Amino acid sequence: MHRRVLPAVAFMMSVCACPGVLTAQVVRSNDPNPALWQATPDAVALGGVASGFLGVERNDLVGSWLASGGLRWFGGVLHASYGQSSASNATSRNYALGYARRLTEADGGIFGTFGTGVDFTAAYQSGATWAGDARAVRMALPLSVRWGSPSGFSFSPYIAPYAEYGHATMLDWRGCGAPSCPFASGLRAGSTLSAGLGFGGNLTLGRLGFTIGAMGVPQGLVKYVNGRWLSSAGVTLRF
For the segment 70-90, what is each residue's pLDDT rounded down to a tens digit?
999 989 999 999 999 876 667
pLDDT value of residue 77 = 96
Domain containing residue 189: 2-238
Question: How many domains in the chain?
Answer: 1
More confident residue, 89 or 22: 89
> Which of 121 and 175 is assigned the larger pLDDT?
121
Helix (H, G, I), strand (E, B) or coil at 221: helix
Beta-bridge partner residues of 162: 140, 196
191 pLDDT tier (thresholds 50, 70, 90): confident
Between the ranges 1-5, 16-20, 90-94, 177-181, where is the mean pLDDT highest?
90-94
Q: Which residue has the higher pLDDT, 53 or 177?
A: 53
Beta bridge partners of 230: 215
Listed residue (230, 201, 223, 199) closest to 123, CA to CA: 230
Pairing of strands 230-238, 208-216: antiparallel
**For residues 162 and 42, is the Cβ–Cβ distance under 8 A?**
no
Q: What is the reported pLDDT for 30?
A: 66
CA separation for the pair 118, 120 (Å, rounded): 7
The larger pLDDT score, comparing residue 188 to residue 60, is at 60
